[in-house]
Amino acid sequence: MTKHGLREKEGKKKLLKEVDDFSRLLAERYRLKRVYLFGSLAEGLFLKGSDVDLAVEGMGFEDYLKALAEFRYIDGIPVDIVHLDFCKSELRRAVLENKGVKILYESK
């Protein structure tokens, strides 16, 4: 593995840790049922300019709007939060069937 490849791998590992911490903070603040990671980061295709795609369950709509305003970036990287309780069934299915989708948080 080249030095560049090693740095890239370490950077991805650091970002995944930050996303995990971010999702727990989001879940605890808004008492979520679940937080999912999907999209390019989950699939291993994350590139410079990509965003972080998260999906949530178990949050009221007003809290969702607050979360969108409050949790916009992770270390300068834009975050897209999809609310699975309020989205169209096609989007919900696409998120949950996304290659590499991961549950980052699940309430006990």
Confidence (pTM): 0.88
> CATH: 3.40.630.10, 1.20.1050.10, 3.50.50.60, 3.30.460.10. Which one for 3-106?
3.30.460.10
Quick: pLDDT tens for 6-37.
Answer: 456 677 889 999 999 999 999 999 999 999 99
Contact 106, 36 (CB under 8 A): no
Domain residue spans in the chain? 3-106
Amino acid 56 reads: V
Amino acid 36 reads: Y
User: Mean per-residue pLDDT for 41-52?
Assistant: 92
